[in-house]
Structure 1
Amino acid sequence: MEDENTLIAENSTLNDHFNGELSELSSRVFLDRVGEVNFSLNSTGLSWKPADSQIDDKSSCIGRKYHIESAAEIKFSDVYAAESADWGSICQSTRCCFMHQDSEMYLFVVHAMQRSKAKASLWHLAEYTFGHSDQLVCKLIVNKIKSYLAKQIGRPKSLLVFVNPKSGKGNSQNVWGVVAPIFSRAKVRTQVTVTERAGHAFDLVSSMTNRELISFDGIVAVGGDGLFNEILNGLLSSRFKTKYPPVPPDFMASPGEESSASVPYPSEINAGIEDGVCSTADEDVEFSFPHERFRFGLIPAGSTDAIVICTTGVRDPITSALHIVLGKRIGLDIAQVVKWKTTMNSDIEPSVHYTASFVGYGFYGDVITESEKYRWMGPKRYDFAGTKVFLRHSSYEVELSYLDVKSKNTDPDSKDDDLIGGVESSQGLKRKCERIICRTNCKVCNTPYTGMMKSKWLKTRGNFLSVGAAVMSCRNERAPDGLVADAHLADGLLHLILVKNCSHALYLWHLTHLAKKGGSPLDFKFVEHYKTPAFAFTSYGKEGVWNLDGEILRAHKLSAQVFRGLISLFANGPEV
């Protein structure tokens, strides 16, 4: 740290070089591959435009990775680093660098994000190199930018990073090598662990004390949805203390018997968060949910990366890294899944699991079970296993109870009495999807519940090819719109999708609609779709196999409940 006399001297020199007050600075500097520009800096960002002697020529040097505009304005919310670069060369021409108009001077570099012109959700690295003959000017500009960046709210300082070397195609370590410099430039400390086995990240996170955990601003998973799910369960299983999900009164009874089990009432939906019982403490340090500071980050390197696609809009490691270092935040619903019985005749031994994306039975469970035999094939094993399961065409007799919830609107002028968080409830189950897509600053996710909830259990039973429960849309490269195009990230609802037993041709038709952009996979008579905050499931077969975020979960009786916005991600939502 400079002493007071040094700071006074620097500020005096600053006034000699800049026009105006210290809160708004301007000077002539040179921008690499553009030329001399009028550079301005204030509390919101920086900007430049060509000096009077410069021609506004947008031609670029051969070989540059991105185009530098002759005039631009960049907000500090899009800047993640600034650094001095000592003495170096600046290309002063607005034309090709082969004009040999290079000059030697002192340099400083500003690092920022730049949205792709083709797709707004795709973010690129932008690097702007400036030069000046006076080293002190460069130093003072960099220090001023750093002081403004330090005032940006929510940016992480320290992160716990897990890298799964076996995720996807096995290139997670290479992916981390590509994005790690972004964290270094942003001065974010990273404690990196390369996992050595399944459950490694779960064990480390679940065994950490609250004091150890809150020394970090968040946890970053470099891998697929499976690694994220493992870390999520490691955190919640040891800290999230709440009651089991609500189930219908007869859920615990055997066929023909009356239930004597004590179960939560439907009114306890989301009570854990609202009543403050979702926290635990050790060493006098509390870790509550949702946490005001702690967030999860996910850098894609998996087989499908559905969570990343749903929360950032793209499957791109650079974009995800920029979301993290820039301190973006979005709430995410989490479903608490309870396995009550493994088989029809087993004892009731509830075990709790958590998911942020999807849990599926029937076709989905069979595919994940079959794919385990072909792990050596990598991600292609899912296509191979899916084809085998499709040809097998197995159906399962199940019973599902789902909680139909209405919200009493507090607006006396409103005639709509079945809104939850601003979206349609499960009343009117066969209505066509309105496709209100979840996006950045989503109004649905940001709308609070409107009054007291009224609820009742509804039931459906039959032979189904598949049962799916989606917390989010679950977009991926095989299903560009996801399982449910209008599913939201933080509305407190999950989507039950039940596909009744039908012919091979009809089921293929349904799957074809899932696989194409703009398809309507829910608009079939053999497909049932329910929006609900909780459901309960009973299989009438020997056992049930579920796919829980790519992991096998055997459950004959199962229930689930959604907790609205339980965790936060370093993400901004898709820029649709």
Structure 2
Amino acid sequence: MSELNEEAQAEQRDSGKKKKKKRKKRRETGKEEEEEEEEEDETVLLRGIFKVGKKSHDVLLTRTKLTWTPIVPETPTGHLKLQELYFKCVLLLRDVFAVKVKRRRAAGQQSGGTVLGLALFSCRRREKRLEEDTLHLHNASSEHTHIWYNSLKELLTGFSSRPRYLKVFINPSSHKKEAVHIYREHVAPLFKMADLRTDITVTERKGHALSVMKECKLDEYDGVVCVGGDGSVAELCHALVLRAQLDANSPEEPVKAVLPLGIIPAGSTDVVSCSVHGVRDPVTAAFHIVLGHLQQVDMCSFSSYGHLVHYGFSAMFGFGGRSLARAEKKRWMLSSRRREYALVKTLARLRPEDCQLSFLPAKKTTEGEESWTTNHGLYLNISVMSIPCLSPHAPRGLAPNTSLANGSASLIAVGNTSRSEFVKHLKRYSSSSGQFNFPFVETHSVSAVKIRPRSLTGCSEEESEEEGDAKHTPIIQSEGAAAFPWNIDGELVEMASEVLIRVHSRLITLYGEEVDEAESAASCSCF
């Protein structure tokens, strides 16, 4: 052990002289500071011998990675060729989420035991999924093992984006009512292994998470976690921004959420989760939280009659709003059957909305000057989305022309057309492209949208009679007579008159990353 450390110091002295000469050449280009940071990161902190598998390895630790190379006995001939057969293995510390001391214990022994070495728990990427991996470093020396253990723990603690204490909300009613099981079986073990503390609230009703977020002491936590579907995510995102406004005493202007939000998918579509993970997988989502992968995300504010209604990522008016309204009135059905019923029923009674559509182009917006474009017409559906809205049924997203944090939203306006042409448009969302290649579809990159329905009633008498016995009510009800159903992040909202939608750049931070495409699934059988 000591000999190896002396060799490492000698190598550092020799390389240091060479690096001084290189540094002189780089001073004129302004790269000296950058080079010094790289050299500091690659400085060998520890060097030792561990067994990996059945072979002894020379193991080196720097601030950013762990490398190990098999130790090969010297031979009179062919030594160099033999060495070339072995490759240096590398594990980046940014992928390591826990380190434990391995011990051999007798049956029933709860503590102590013979030291066997270290186990490093990390995540590896397999396409869009993150999976657990383990590296076992065997060494019987207790002193040697604990020196390495303490150094590794210190380095892992240095990742400032990684949370230590989380506020967790679990919606037990999401989708198949599996949220509690998903958290206990797939998420809690990873949090425990990473030494993450949690404060858990199991929500009892709609709006429960919002009421808790308004009162709790946020400065105690490093992040918030939602275990549920898109409705639960929407409620918590809305709550985080509202709480930031309240704390900043800014009732008129939105304020960026202070804490990041982690999303453990447990819903039926999980659009927001797919948009930052690329897959509906609770383990992948948990790893993004544990490793502190942070992604800035744009949000929209939705206002009516000059009053804020909601913060969210997406909204659909027309077909999207009416199909959701029908689905919500059949809550007794299975979620997949409910969605198919609502789509078929709404298609059977497909009719356009007569409205005034105004938008503010994103690229033409200048501070202090707003030049709105206004159109009057009949529209089957109008969508405004500040994120791509990826899902297994739309792998490229409902709005593939936007991104998570570009400061704009995608406006997709589907004009009046035949039912068959509209169905062709919908079916193309499950393919890679072509959903906008229709003469009746227009798309714009916008910073704001105004939608003013011009029809007198939001719900026809036929619809009211058919579904008048439903017990479900929207989360927001309009005070006026002409109430129109909106789909805001998968939640039914009824609003009347003009609705103003504004995009707010990077208003919230989510645990995840920018992804181009989601894992696909079979499209809706009703098509």
Q: C-alpha distance in 2, partners of 1:308/1:222?
A: 11
Letter in 1 for 2:221: F
Q: C-alpha distance in 1, partners of 2:54/2:387?
A: 45
The gaps in structure 2 that reach 5 residues or longer are 10-42, 75-85, 107-113, 459-483, 518-527
Q: For residues 84-122 of structure 1, give each alpha carbon's deviation from its aligned partner in whole angstroms, at most 9, with x where no partner exists.
A: 122279xxxxxxxxxxxxxx9613210111011xx1x31
TM-score, L = length of structure 2? 0.77
Q: Structure 1 residue 325 and structure 2 residue 290: aligned?
A: yes
> 1:34 Cα deviation (Å)?
5.1
Tell me what 2:71 maps to. 51
Q: Structure 1 residue 157 and structure 2 residue 158: aligned?
A: no
Q: Structure 2 vs 1, CA of residues 107 and 164 (structure 1 numbering), >3 Å: closer, same or farther? A: same
Q: For residues 154-211 of structure 1, give each alpha carbon's deviation from its aligned partner in whole angstroms, at most 9, with x where no partner exists.
A: 1111110001111122111121111112111212211111111111111111233xxx
Q: Describe how 1:516-527 pairs up with structure 2 within 5 A.
A: 516=431, 518-527=432-441
Q: Structure 2 vs 1, CA of residues 501 and 71 (structure 1 numbering), >3 Å: closer, same or farther? A: same
Give the number of aligned pairs.
435
> 1:312 Cα deviation (Å)?
2.0
Q: C-alpha distance in 2, partners of 1:484/1:359?
A: 11
> 1:35 Cα deviation (Å)?
3.4
Q: Describe how 1:34-49 pairs up with structure 2 within 5 A.
A: 35-49=55-69
Of residues 540, 543, 548, the one that matches 2:454 is: 540
Of residues 125, 144, 148, the one that matches 2:132 is: 125
Tell me what 2:335 maps to. 379
> 1:389 Cα deviation (Å)?
1.0
> 1:150 Cα deviation (Å)?
1.4
Tell me what 1:359 maps to. 315
Q: C-alpha distance in 2, partners of 1:404/1:24?
A: 54
Whether the 8 Å CA contact 2:93–2:156 is kept in 1: the answer is yes
Q: C-alpha distance in 1, partners of 2:395/2:225?
A: 25
Tell me what 1:560 maps to. 501
Tell me what 1:264 maps to. none
* 2:375 partner SS: strand
> 1:26 Cα deviation (Å)?
1.8
Tell me what 2:190 maps to. 182
Q: C-alpha distance in 2, partners of 1:305/1:479?
A: 12
Q: Describe how 1:96-495 pairs up with structure 2 within 5 A.
A: 106-116=116-126, 119=127, 121-177=128-184, 178-208=186-216, 212-240=217-245, 279-280=248-249, 289-290=255-256, 294-340=259-305, 350-356=307-313, 358-380=314-336, 381-406=338-363, 454-495=369-410
TM-score, L = length of structure 1? 0.71
Q: Structure 2 vs 1, CA of residues 405 and 108 (structure 1 numbering), >3 Å: closer, same or farther? A: closer
Letter in 2 for 1:568: T
Letter in 2 for 1:29: F
Q: Structure 2 vs 1, CA of residues 51 and 169 (structure 1 numbering), >3 Å: closer, same or farther? A: farther
Tell me what 1:274 maps to. none
Moved more, 451-460 or 523-532: 451-460
* 2:163 partner SS: coil
Whether the 8 Å CA contact 2:362–2:408 is kept in 1: the answer is no
> 1:289 Cα deviation (Å)?
3.6
> 1:29 Cα deviation (Å)?
1.0
Moved more, 306-315 or 373-382: 373-382
Letter in 2 for 1:365: G
* 1:375 partner SS: coil
Give the aligned CA root-mean-square deviation in angstroms: 2.7
**Structure number having the greater helix percentage:** 2
> 1:572 Cα deviation (Å)?
2.2
Q: Structure 2 vs 1, CA of residues 405 and 42 (structure 1 numbering), >3 Å: closer, same or farther? A: closer
* 2:268 partner SS: coil
Letter in 2 for 1:495: S
Whether the 8 Å CA contact 2:394–2:429 is kept in 1: the answer is yes
> 1:16 Cα deviation (Å)?
7.3
Q: Structure 2 vs 1, CA of residues 360 and 130 (structure 1 numbering), >3 Å: closer, same or farther? A: same
Whether the 8 Å CA contact 2:241–2:507 is kept in 1: the answer is no
Q: Structure 2 vs 1, CA of residues 562 and 88 (structure 1 numbering), >3 Å: closer, same or farther? A: same
Tell me what 1:250 maps to. none
> 1:42 Cα deviation (Å)?
1.3
> 1:486 Cα deviation (Å)?
2.4
